[in-house]
Chain A
Amino acid sequence: MPAGPRRRSRIRFRGLGLPIYTALALIFLLIPIAYTFVFSFNNSGKLNIAWQGFTLDKWTHVCDAQGVCEAFTNSIIVGVVATVLATALGTAIAIALVRYRFRARSLISLLLFLPMATPEVVLGAGLAAQFLSLGVNKGLGTIIIAHTMFCISFVVVTVKARVSSLDPALEEAGRDLYGSAAAVFWRITFPLLVPGIAAAALLSFALSFDDFIITNFNSGAVDTFPKFIYIAAARGIPAEANVIASAVFILAIVIVVVAQVTRAARAKRLARLH
């Protein structure tokens, strides 16, 4: 074979290799999601394993499966409360870390890093051991305490990135215009931080909503949505669980995609202005 065409075909392959690899990796990531979604339409009995025909019943009667809606409600309650607590505590720490210098700084950084470097099973067992020795009854409250704990570090990291990217000149301008410290913070700093805080809150909620391991050690008799699935896994997951998971998934994807499209449109508009 002449060298020319062979060379060209190799070049063409090289250009396509990366996109094909990426596409295959993404398909790999999405297979179980598609599976979960498809099987939310399965006309199954208690066991949702073999395909038994299409139905919308599971979507219209989600709460028919015993316990699934209670577990889902618990997950929402825990997620909202833990997110609010972790976002408040974590945002305050992030602002302090970027804006102030103090001695115990590296110790505090270590304290924030360690929960992220500790396996969930150790976090879960540790809290459970503490609740046990204090004689605390496990329930919704202990789940919320646990989730707030592991979300704080992630909030700090997310908000900190935003605080350090703020232009100090904006706040200086506020002070130059005789704004009080409080006015500068609430009228200038805080609004600029909102995107970072929102991202941190979303991340917290997602981490809390999908957490199983730490929850399992600290929930007592209370079920969250992941715990419901774990317990049901032994005897078979009802299709209603697939319905809830799929609905949450679609909602989350829609929120993210809408946010991205609007941001892209705004960036384009700004680019045209310049």
Chain B
Amino acid sequence: MAFTAFSTPTSTAAEPAVRKRSWIALVLLLPGILYLLLFFIAPLISLIFTSFQQPVIDGDIGQYSAGFQWQNYTDAVGQYLPLIFRAFGYAILATVFALVISYPMAYFIGVKMRRWPLAQSLLLTLVIAPFFISFLLRTLAWKQIFSDEGPVVPVLKALSVLPTDGHITGTPFAVVFGLTYNFIPFMTLPLYAVLERMDVRYIEAGADLYASPWTTFRKVTIPLSMPGIVSGTLLTFIPAAGDYINASNDFLGSSQTSMVGNAIEANFLVLQNYPIAAALSIVLMAVILIIVGIYVRRAGTEDLI
């Protein structure tokens, strides 16, 4: 399954015999690798060049020429620092919430339902069901449910949980809620993939050795499911940090909840300020790579792909 992408357990299957004819390997690899070099690596390089461009003197909006404007970075970070912090703050919160919601569910489906394989796979289908319907429409559905005229706000106001002039949409709560909701399947699938294969005899051994269920969970289940936790948190954290749908005005957010993705979109597609958008993209990418690098090393799953 693709969702174990970030931490394939070290080769369990027998390594097949090495074949000598490496020209076949070359023929198989070349088209795909060239494609990625052309449309993934080259664009990243082009993004770096764009981030140093300077405006053309007396040029139109959106006209830039090659340059070495470090200032683009200081401008971008200076102007959008709160949005950068917000993006990572929201993404971390959403990742934690998604893990808390997903883990027991993945454990139940992956471990407790083993005796009923058909029910197990049908429950898993319910987990991935959101993939089959546009995520923009799902997010808009939450917007309607949480709108001032929707079913939730009046109830919360009657219960005095929300002040009479309060809203849910447009708040950080709504954005983190939306991010959590949208990425739960990405969290649950890798957790499931690991828990489903976990040998439950280890858990029984913990109980036999008089460990409390909590201790067994902490010392046995969690370490055994670590590869799933790492893949799931990465598959949630990375897209959540770059997301700009949930935080956008037309969806669950407001100008108070804008994330760095919103700034990249606005600068690139609306303001045509390509160098600032490119600089922000590079900063986002760099921070993510640093965080992921530290995290993966800490979690001890360095065997990527």
Contacts and interface: CB of A to CB of B under 8 A. Distances in A.
Contacts of B17: 168
A22 B144 contact: no
A73 interface: no
Interface in B135-150: 135-142, 144-145, 147, 149
Given A130-B43, A168-B14, A157 B242 contact: no
B105 interface: yes
Contact of B118 (A110, A246, A260): A260
Interface secondary structure of A, over-half rule: helix
B144 A122 contact: no
Given A29-B185, A35-B144, A157-B4, 11 more contacts: A33-B141, A93-B29, A100-B24, A122-B264, A122-B285, A129-B278, A153-B5, A161-B4, A203-B2, A248-B133, A260-B125
A229 B136 contact: yes
A210 B135 CA distance: 7
A84 interface: no
B161 interface: no
Top 8 A-B residue pairs of the complex, sorted by shortest distance between their CB atoms: A119-B242, A126-B43, A32-B141, A100-B25, A89-B32, A96-B28, A252-B132, A32-B138
A213 B234 contact: no
B198 interface: no
B91 to A, nearest CB: 10
A114 B40 contact: yes
Contact of B22 (A102, A128, A213): A102
Interface in B1-27: 1-2, 4-6, 8, 11, 13-14, 16-19, 22, 24-25, 27
Given A35-B145, A126-B281, A113 B305 contact: yes
Given A49-B144, A96-B29, A216 B105 contact: no
A264 to B, nearest CB: 4
A248 B132 contact: yes
A119 B40 contact: no
Interface bin, chain B: 35 or more
A229 B172 CA distance: 23
B268 A125 contact: yes
Interface of A: 18-19, 21-22, 25-26, 28-33, 35-36, 39, 49-50, 89-90, 92-93, 95-96, 98-102, 108-123, 125-130, 132-133, 145-146, 148-149, 152-154, 156-158, 161, 164-166, 168, 200, 203, 206, 210, 212-213, 216-217, 225-226, 229-230, 233-234, 237, 241-242, 245-246, 248-249, 252-253, 256-257, 260-261, 263-264, 267
Contacts of B41: 111
A237 B31 CA distance: 41
B5 A213 contact: no
B67 to A, nearest CB: 13
Contact of A89 (B5, B35, B112): B35
A114 B99 CA distance: 23
B5 A253 contact: no
Interface of B: 1-2, 4-6, 8, 11, 13-14, 16-19, 22, 24-25, 27-29, 31-33, 35-37, 39-44, 46-47, 49-50, 101-102, 104-105, 107-109, 112, 117-118, 121-123, 125-127, 129-142, 144-145, 147, 149, 181, 184-185, 234, 238-239, 241-245, 250-251, 261, 264-265, 268-269, 274, 277-278, 281, 284-285, 288-289, 292, 304-305
Name the residue in B36, B37, B41, B239 with the highest tally of chain A Cβ atoms < 10 Å from its Cβ: B36
Contacts of B37: 111
Interface secondary structure of B, over-half rule: helix
Nearest to A101: B18
Contact of B36 (A19, A112, A158, A256): A112
B250 A234 contact: yes
A216 B43 contact: no
B138 A89 contact: no
Nearest to A204: B2
B138 A253 contact: no
A142 B166 CA distance: 44
Nearest to B235: A116
Contacts of A128: 268
Given A130-B42, A210-B134, A226-B134, A18 B242 contact: no
Contacts of A216: 265, 269
A19 B129 CA distance: 19
Given A129-B46, A165-B13, A118 B133 contact: no
B71 to A, nearest CB: 18
Contacts of A129: 43, 46-47, 49-50, 274, 278
A129 B43 CA distance: 7
Contact of A29 (B129, B137, B284): B129
